[in-house]
Amino acid sequence: MRELFVSCPTCGIKKPIMIPKEVFTKKECGSIKIHVPSGIVCSDHQFVVFIDQSGLVRGYEKIDLIMATPPQKENKKY
């Protein structure tokens, strides 16, 4: 695991997150995009962090809309 400090782009709280080393070794080109759910860095916001292959944070993206999963209907057997 690799520790990476990230900041919430909305409120600025900064905390470490743990990233598996395989993420860096398996990525052949381009940036690594990681969804950070609310509660990981700060309690109210979720965001995407963009990391290069050497582990440097290259940017953040705020989430505009979170789609809820519709409730599943129970299959009633009679």
Q: What is the pLDDT of residues 6-37, one digit of tens each?
A: 999 999 999 999 999 999 888 888 899 999 99
pTM, rounded to two decimals:
0.80
User: How far apart are the C-alpha atoms of 6 and 14, rounded to whole Å?
Assistant: 6
CA–CA distance from 68 to each of 8, 71, 72 (Å)? 22, 9, 12
45-74, pLDDT tens digit by residue?
999 999 998 899 999 999 988 888 888 877
User: How far apart are the C-alpha atoms of 45 and 32, rounded to whole Å?
Assistant: 20
Distance of CA 33 to the CA centre of its chain: 7
